[in-house]
Structure 1
Amino acid sequence: MVWNDAAYGAEVNLYGLQGLARGPMLIPEADFAALAGGVGAEGVVVRTPADLDRLEAWAAEPEESRRFLVLDCRISGDVIAPYQEEIIRVDS
C-alpha cells in the first residue's frame, strides 16, 4: 500500500494556511499503480472506499495464482487530521 498525497502535506497545512505559496510544497502526482503494472504486479488507484472492492476480490483469490497487488491510495489534501490541527494551532 502506498499513501500518495502529491504534496508535503504537513507543510501545506502549516505554512500554506499561513499564506505562503503552496506551489513549492506540491509534488507531481506519481502513478504507483502504473508502476506496479510495469513490474508484473497489479496496481489499483484508490480514491474512494468503493475502489477497495478489488482488494476484497483479490484476497479471495488463491494465493498461489494471484499477482502481487499494490494499492495506490490517493489522499485528499482537503482533510486535515485533528493532531495536525493542534500543531497548526500551537505553531501559528
Structure 2
Amino acid sequence: MSDTITATKEELKSLIDTAVTSALSRLGLVSDEISQREAYRRFGESWVKRALHTRSIQRIKHGDNTSKATYSLSELEALKLAERIHLNNPK
C-alpha cells in the first residue's frame, strides 16, 4: 500500500472519529469539553498554546478568572486534522 493511500486512510479515520464525537456531543451522550491538562496531554502543551496564541481555538471558562479552563475536543481534533491535511497537500 502506498504512503499516500495510508495517509489518506488515517485522515479519513480521524475525520470519522471527529464527526462521531461531534454527533454524540450534540445528542448529549458525551461531553465535548476536556480539561486544559487533558488537552495538553493529548495534543501537546506547546501545540495548544500556539493554537490559542494564533486564535485557532478558544479556551472555555465558566465563571470567574479562577475557574477551570476547558477546550472543545472536536475543535482541537478538527484543527489537528486540518493541519495534517495541509501538511500532506501543500499548495
Q: Which range, TM-score by smaller chain? A: 0.3 to 0.5
More helix by share: 2
Larger Rg: 1
Highest relative contact order (Cα 8 Å, sep 6+), 1 or 2? Answer: 1
More strand by share: 1
TM-score normalised to structure 1 length = 0.32
